[in-house]
Structure formats: structure tokens, C-alpha cells
Structure 1
Amino acid sequence: MDIIERDESGRVNSTRIVNHQISRSSNNGSEKRARTRSSATEILSKVFLPVGYPRSVSPDYLRYQILNSLQAFCSSLAGLLSSRATLEGYGVGKASASATNALILSIMQDMFARLTTIISAYYLGSSLFPEAKTYRFLADILNDAAIILDTTSPMLATVFPFHLLATSRIPFQLYTLCISASLRSLCGIAAGGSKTAITMHFATPLEGSGDVGDLNAKDSSKETVLGLLGMLLGTITVPYLTTTWSTYTVLFLLVFLHLLINYYGVRGIVLRTLNRHRASLAWAAFRHDFGEKKKNEERSHESNPSRVLTPSSIASYERLFDRPDLLWDIHASRTIGRCTMGSSIGLVFDVAQADIFPATRLFDLFRNKSFVVWFDPKDLTSTASSSEPSLRDKHSPHVHVFLKENHTPSDQLKAWLISCEVALLLASQQLKTDENDEDASVSLDALVLISRAKDTVDRLFSTFTEQMLRAGWCADTNMQNKSPENDEGNDKGSQPCLAVALMTRPPQTVVVDVSSTEEEAKKDR
């Protein structure tokens, strides 16, 4: 009898049982000669890599961990210089220093840090998961800013004496140390929330499932070892950095390397869930390819399905620092509009703008949807010759999404794609006008534009979702599309939804109920 087994590292071994005797063999070849070396490698991998690596993590895990280890090492060395300057701020080495003053200073730092934590968690908490890559890199910038401020505080104290700041005799280093404590608290909030999102991404391999707990534990082990190595190297090098020039040269070199490595590390993360930026890029690529395929089909009479971009392709177009509410044209590499999710109708429009908000017709258009899409009043105008609201120009529209009660992430995605489609229609109109194309047939009637974009998204949403899932984007296993009888344009039967995280804050309001009098309905017609 031959029994084939595979261990957690993927190595295959065979066991043969003949006449009550057991013999083992491996198909890896030269195992006896490399037994010692492989044993050491296995021990290191079991200690620092997740169980089942590489099958239990996403493909971009190893690259990120290597770069993350390098940046953590640089940050550890720079942190030693910062700690030395902080101790100098406490008064270490000064005859006039006292333990009480140092205690009061540490209490002030801790107070500012805790207040910053509470305030930043309130304002940033809901944005950390959707914009994980942005806040992961921002956390490193904040940490480096705190390190630089701590290290340069002795020099700044000589440049800015306390009596130049205020009438009170508060040492300048108290200001700098409290500001650096606040920056570190901001770093902790940004890094903690974004790291959770990135860890969940790494724990979702292309096939199977990973273990978030084990992943976090192994990351902590790596960070501990790197911190120890950084401190050991720091104890050797820091005592020799006695002059201002040498200290600041090494500091800025470490900070530069830290940010550079972090930049490439974060850019290399290939997230497979959609936020607003990735959804905008994916829809623009899909619509451009769909348009090209449609033209080819008209000429060749052959049906060719349009394609979507893979997560790795979208990652190459992503921008770390950009407003998440911007709509992008991936082929023109420019912004084509703006969309605000979760707006309030009562806050966006007032009584004087009733003529550019056709409420009855607009809500009737979206009667089977859990959202309403409409333009910002600054983009609209209504003339005496035409009672229909129209756009003032063709450039960069600002669209609002008003969510209804019981909306789902899939509804948010559809509303966002309708906004993208409106911006793409206007961008194509402007391009045709610039090229003197006679086929510039996009109407500037606001309601017509919204209706046309809605019909396009309803018609193509199922195809877009199916192809995105085939391209490697994650599905939301806990969510199903709304029943087809309540949603236009869907095929019969429930369909899997894309995993999305579009909202960076709760909506200002949600529409609970809509009612209108007969007089208002006649006036709106």
C-alpha cells in the first residue's frame, strides 16, 4: 500500500506499507544531502510565515513583507535618534533638570496623544478600510514627521526662544514634544485601521482561505525581531553620532529610505475589493473596451465580449493621495468629474432651486432603486425657453448620490457607476467637440443624461460583475443582489455581488419616504 501525503509547506512524501513494514520517501530529490539546510529553512518559515504559506496568503504577501521588514528596520534606527532627543527634552544631562519636570512633561505628551486619538478616530475611523493603502502610507509620513520633530527639537529651541512664542515662559521643546506625540497618535490610528484591512486582504488567497489570527501573530514576530536588530545596530552606531551634522545626515537618510521603501511596498499591494477610485478606473476601462468591441461588431458582425482589468492592472493606475470622490477616465489619465456619496437633499438644494430639481420625475425614474442620482445645483441652469434643467457646461460635473433606507453595498456600487457613466458621456461629448466630430450627440439635458446613464448601467451591470469576478476580484459572500422583481436590468435569479467599500463616512441622511400632492405632480410635468 502506498500513501501519499503533503505537509503544510507543500512538500509531497510517500509512505509504503509492505508485509507490516513501513518505508518513507520524498519526491523532492537530494533530500538527504540538503536535510540540514532544509530543516533550518523550515524552522524559519514556520516561525515567521503563516501556516500553509504560500497557499494561505495572497500572491503579493511576500513582496510586501520583505519591503515592510526593510522599512521597519530603517524606522527602528531613526526612532533611536528620536528617543535620544526626547530624553534631552526631558532634561537628561542637565543639572537643573528634575524628575518632577520630566514627569509633568510626559503627562502633557500623554494627554495630547490621548486627545488626538479620540478626535482622529472620530473623523478617520470609517475611512481607514476603504482607503487602506492611502492611510497606510500616510501613517509612515506622520511617524517620520514625529521623529524629525523630536530629533530637531533641541536645535529648534535655540532658533526659537520661548519668549518669541508667547508671553508665558513655556519651554519651546514642550510644544514640539506635544506635537510629535499627537502625530504619533495619528500614525497609530491610521496604521491600525489600514493594517487590519491589508491583513484581511493577505488572508484571502486566490484559492482557499487564510488565518487572520496566525497572520497577525507572525507579523508581530517579525516586527519583534526587526526591532531587536535595529536596537542592536543602534547601540553600536548612535554613540558615534555626536555632532549635529552627523545626526541629521543619518536621520534624513533613514527617513528617505523609510518613505521610499514604504511607497513601493504600498504600491505593490494588489487589493481585490473595490473602493471608489478602483471602481471608477475599472468601469472606465470596461466602457472603453465595450465601446471598441461594439464598433468592431458593427463592422465584422461578430460578437466579442468586453473585458475588464485585473486587480494587478488596476493597482498600477492607482494614486495613493487623491480625493476619493473624483471620477477618473483611465485612458485619458485625468479626472472627469466628482461624486459625493450619501448627500442630503435638504442640504444640497434650497427653495430657490426647486426649478432645477424635478423631484417627481427624478424619484419616479429611480422608483425601483435604493438611491437617487442628481447633479449639484451649481452645475444646473433653467432658462425661459426650456423648462428642463440642463448643464451649464460639459466639463467635470459634480454628481450627488442620495441613498434610500435599506440600501446595500451593491446599490452604492450601481449609484457610483451611474455617476461614472454620466461623467464619461460628457467627457466623450467634449472630446468629439474638440475633434470637430459631427456625431457629438450627447444631450446636455440633465434628466436625459441621468436616464441614459442609468439605462446603460442597468444593461451592463450583470456583465460587468461577472467579468470582474472572473478577472480575480473578490465576491461579497454575505451579500446577494436584491430580488430581480425590485431591480431593473438584472437577469432572473440572484447573482453574486462584488466586494465593495465605497463609503468613507455614514450618509448624511437616507430617504425614508417620498410623497407628493397632485398639484406638485402636475407642476413638475
Structure 2
Amino acid sequence: MEASKSSSTEVILEEWNGSSSTKLSRTATITASPSLSIQRSGGRFHHVWRRVLQAFVPEGFPNSVTPDYVPFQVWDSLQGLSTYIRTMLSTQALLSAIGVGEKSATVIGATFQWFLRDLTGMLGGILFTFYQGSNLDSNAKMWRLIADLMNDLGMLMDLVSPLFPSAFVFVVCLGSLSRSFTGVASGATRAALTQHFALQSNAADISAKEGSQETLATMIGMALGMLLARITMGHALAIWFSFLSLTLFHIYANYKAVQCLALTSLNPERSSILLQHFLETGQVLSPEKVSRMEHVLPVWTTSWSSKSAKQIHMQVHLGVRVSSLNHSELMDLLHSAGSHYKKAKYVLVEKQGIVHATLHKDSTSADVLQSFFHALVMAKFTDKNKSLHLESQSWMDKHYEAFIQKLRSSGWKIERLLSPSIVWKAKWICGPLDAKMD
């Protein structure tokens, strides 16, 4: 009886495909009654297309990445395509200037010139990392754009090198130096952006799939570049027109790419925008709204703009070296440490509209973030005839925790402030004079 009941039970087996539980699709249904049958869902082309797509987009796409991933990658791929096409034109000019194809050219001469070009680029990359390495993470959007602009300048140097045969080595070394900045800044900012896109701790997958996208863009760009180089060979006007047109498109595509980014990390400028809006309205802006307000180009390039006057983060110096202060500033710092900041992990001193923040040697990332927001509040109150320390501390006591909670609920990452490395700190001891003497 039991065997008969078991044999009459129909089992249906379904096959599902997908790397994310929210994006599974049924691909086949298998039944064993009256005979084994397999019914496939969807066309064969659909399955092939899904497999091809998996080589270029992260697993779980689009739920595994931020909403700004797609527009950024589209514009980034377009600017990369433009770069690879122009590379063929600039490389053709560079090889011609070195003497490729000429009987009078020597192998050792061309090799030496190429060596000097590469050596200059290596040294430039090291120097750029030394001076700006710690600043790339805090201004990823700006440095991403600057990196590609420097690459444009480097390619331009290669293209004009045949026009200055007597200064050929100098020109190509300048171009290599410019591109070395590109390599460092682009690589560093790409790492920061990859972390931003990763919603499911899938930064490695996103980086790998970006490599596939870049490879595809490279192959297409090389093919189009060789075709363009073939067509424009011997026509200087056509070469320059093509190069300059593609360069203008490259700049535009890069600008649109970084403009799409809605970063959720806190850097000095985004912190300034958020705090000023909170002081005025009591509300916190979303990352998307702040991304439309922050500068993409360096502030000095838009100094004529009215919104640049509102950037109070320019009035804050974070991580000040104590021994660099003058006598009166040191007296103010010691007085503040003994009266207003006994239990704090930072000391703020205002001088001529600039707020100097000195961090304690035991300060944490939360203390650094708090010190910067406190300094911004003090900078905001400098135009009022009130006690800056008392007024700013009163605001911090009443509103800071609520401000931080609203930042967190709006999607901001409040774990730390992205700023250049703070290498100068201090330690202050407050207490009776005789106790300190012991």
C-alpha cells in the first residue's frame, strides 16, 4: 500500500539561474510523469546573452552595485574608447619622430630616446605619489578628472613632438611626465570608486568585470584607431582635426562620468555642504543632491562662481603642527586646552578667520570627524560678535549627535573623514601645577 502511494506521487523539478536570490529566472521544468520530459523556459539566445553579460557586469547586477554605477561606466567606457583611438594617432607621430621607417635612424638611438621617456615617467609617478598620494582618496572625483586631462596633455605632447625635432626628447619626456600623473591618480581613485560601487563586499568582482569592459573598449578603440590612422596618414589637417575633436569629446565624457557619481563618503567639501544646509534648515541632504553641489574641478578654477564663497571648509586647517604656531597662537592654544577642551581629543584655535585644529595623539577617526565639524561650526560663527568657543561648543552639545544620526539615516558613511593624512598631533595634560611637576 505504501509502495503504491509513493509511486503515484508526481515530482516536478525546476531549474533556476542567477547569482542573486532576487534576480533568479526559471530556465527549465523537468517532470517524470508519464515519462521524463524537459521543458525549457526562454530562448537559447537569451541564455547565451546572459552568459556573455556575466563576463562584463558584476554578479547580482544591478542589485550588487550602487545606482550611479551604470551611468558612470557608460561614460567611462566612451572616454576610454576615445583615448584608445587617439593613442594610435599620437603613437604613429611619436614613432615617426623617433625615426621608424627611415634608413638613417639607428636602433640604439631610438632605444635610448624611448628609455629616457619611460624613465621620466617613472620618476614623475614617484614624485606625484609623494606629494599628493594622501590627497587622492579625499578628492576622488576631482583627481579622476584631472588624471584624464593630464593624459590628454601627454598625448598632445607626443603628437607635436615631430614638429620640434631639436627638442624632441624634451617634449616626449614632458608627455611621459604628464601621463605618469595619470597612472597614479587614475589607479588610486579607481580603487576608491570601486569600494563605493560595491554594495555586497564585491569590490574584487567589480574590479575584474571592469577589466573585461576596458579590454573590450581597448580592442574596439585599437581597431577604429588603426582605421583612422590609415585614412589620415599623410594628411596633417585631418589628423589634427580628428585628434582635437576626440579630445573634446574625451573631456566631456570624463566630466559627465564624474558628475554622475554620488559618493557617500565624507570629505571636507561634502561635510561643509551638509553642515551649512543643516544649520539653515535642520535637514540633511542626500548624497545625490550633494553630488550636484560639490566641485568637480579644483576650487580655484571656479573662483568666479558665487557658490565657491560658501565653502567654509577652506577656513579650517586640520592637523596643525604646534611648533609652527607663533607666540600668541600658542598662548591661545594652551588657554583653550586648559579651559574648553580638557576632556576633548582636539583643540581649536581661531586666528583671523582661520580655525586651526590640533588633534590629540590618542584621537580616533570619530574624534577627527567631530573636530572637523566643530571647526566648521566655529568658522561659521566667526562673523558674529560672540564667544566662538562657547557658542560652537553649545551647538555641538545640542545638535551634533542628532546631526550624525541624520547623516547615517540618509545613507552617509560616518566612520571617518576622508582627508589628507594627519601627521602632526599633540598631547596636553591639564591639572594642578604641582601634580604635573611630579
TM-score, length-scaled by structure 2:
0.87
Q: Indicate the residue corresponding to 1:421 in structure 2.
A: 377
8 Å CA contact retained: 2:336, 2:349: no
Q: In the aligned structure 1, how far is the partner of 2:229 from the partner of 2:86? A: 10
| RMSD over aligned Cα atoms | 2.8
Q: Deviations over 1:156-176 (max 9, x none)?
A: 44xxxxxxxxxxxxx301001
Q: In the aligned structure 1, how far is the partner of 2:295 from the partner of 2:149? A: 16
Instruction: Tell me the SS of whatever aligns to 1:139.
Output: helix
- For 1:64-103, list aligned pairs within 5 A: 64-103=72-111
Pairing 1:370–2:363 present: no
Pairing 1:502–2:418 present: yes
Aligned with 1:252 (options 223, 226, 244): 244
Q: In the aligned structure 1, how far is the partner of 2:404 from the partner of 2:39? A: 47
8 Å CA contact retained: 2:273, 2:311: no
Q: In the aligned structure 1, how far is the partner of 2:197 from the partner of 2:37? A: 38
Deviation at 1:142, TM superposition (A): 0.6
The percentage of aligned residue pairs carrying the same residue is: 23
Instruction: Tell me the SS of whatever aligns to 1:500.
Output: strand
8 Å CA contact retained: 1:130, 1:275: yes
Q: Deviations over 1:102-154 (max 9, x none)?
A: 11111111211111121111111111111111111111001000001110121
8 Å CA contact retained: 1:413, 1:502: no
8 Å CA contact retained: 1:280, 1:420: yes
Q: In the aligned structure 2, how far is the partner of 1:178 from the partner of 1:261? A: 27
8 Å CA contact retained: 2:359, 2:426: yes
Q: In the aligned structure 2, how far is the partner of 1:450 from the partner of 1:322? A: 31
Q: Against the structure 1 CA distance between its residues 15 and 249, is the aligned structure 2 distance closer, same or farther, given a 3 Å change threshold? A: same
Pairing 1:11–2:24 present: yes
- For 1:390-469, list aligned pairs within 5 A: 397-426=353-382, 429=383, 442-444=384-386, 448-469=387-408
- 272-281 vs 314-323, which moves further: 314-323
Deviation at 1:332, TM superposition (A): 9.0
Q: In the aligned structure 1, how far is the partner of 2:308 from the partner of 2:150? A: 33
Q: In the aligned structure 2, how far is the partner of 1:373 from the partner of 1:271? A: 28
Q: Indicate the residue corresponding to 1:146 in structure 2.
A: 154
Deviation at 1:317, TM superposition (A): 0.4
| One-letter code aligned to 1:338 | Q
Q: In the aligned structure 2, how far is the partner of 1:21 from the partner of 1:505? A: 70
- For 1:41-120, list aligned pairs within 5 A: 41-120=49-128
Q: Indicate the residue corresponding to 1:265 in structure 2.
A: 257
Instruction: Tell me the SS of whatever aligns to 1:47.
Output: coil
Q: Indicate the residue corresponding to 2:303 in structure 1.
A: none
Q: Indicate the residue corresponding to 2:291 in structure 1.
A: 315
Q: Indicate the residue corresponding to 1:172 in structure 2.
A: 167
Q: In the aligned structure 1, how far is the partner of 2:173 from the partner of 2:348? A: 45
Q: In the aligned structure 1, how far is the partner of 2:93 from the partner of 2:206? A: 35
Deviation at 1:460, TM superposition (A): 1.4
Deviation at 1:69, TM superposition (A): 0.8
| Count of residue correspondences | 415
Q: Indicate the residue corresponding to 2:317 in structure 1.
A: 340
Q: Indicate the residue corresponding to 1:197 in structure 2.
A: 192
Q: In the aligned structure 2, how far is the partner of 1:43 from the partner of 1:353? A: 65
Unmatched tracts of structure 1, length 5 or more? 158-170, 291-306, 325-329, 380-396, 430-441, 475-497
8 Å CA contact retained: 2:269, 2:311: no
Q: Against the structure 1 CA distance between its residues 18 and 40, is the aligned structure 2 distance closer, same or farther, given a 3 Å change threshold? A: closer
Q: Indicate the residue corresponding to 1:473 in structure 2.
A: 412
Q: Indicate the residue corresponding to 1:232 in structure 2.
A: 223
Q: Deviations over 1:489-520 (max 9, x none)?
A: xxxxxxxxx1333321333x21134368859x
Unmatched tracts of structure 2, length 5 or more? 1-10, 301-305
| One-letter code aligned to 2:237 | W
TM-score, length-scaled by structure 1:
0.73
Q: In the aligned structure 2, how far is the partner of 1:83 from the partner of 1:254? A: 15
Q: Indicate the residue corresponding to 1:168 in structure 2.
A: none
Instruction: Tell me the SS of whatever aligns to 2:417.
Output: coil
Q: In the aligned structure 1, how far is the partner of 2:181 from the partner of 2:227? A: 31
Q: Deviations over 1:397-430 (max 9, x none)?
A: 211110111212211111111122123224xx5x
Q: Indicate the residue corresponding to 2:182 in structure 1.
A: 187
Q: In the aligned structure 2, how far is the partner of 1:182 from the partner of 1:108? A: 11
| One-letter code aligned to 2:188 | G
Q: In the aligned structure 1, how far is the partner of 2:397 from the partner of 2:37? A: 63
Q: In the aligned structure 2, how far is the partner of 1:59 from the partner of 1:269? A: 9
8 Å CA contact retained: 2:322, 2:330: no
| One-letter code aligned to 1:422 | M
| One-letter code aligned to 1:465 | I
Q: Against the structure 1 CA distance between its residues 106 and 223, is the aligned structure 2 distance closer, same or farther, given a 3 Å change threshold? A: same
Deviation at 1:95, TM superposition (A): 3.1
Deviation at 1:311, TM superposition (A): 0.6
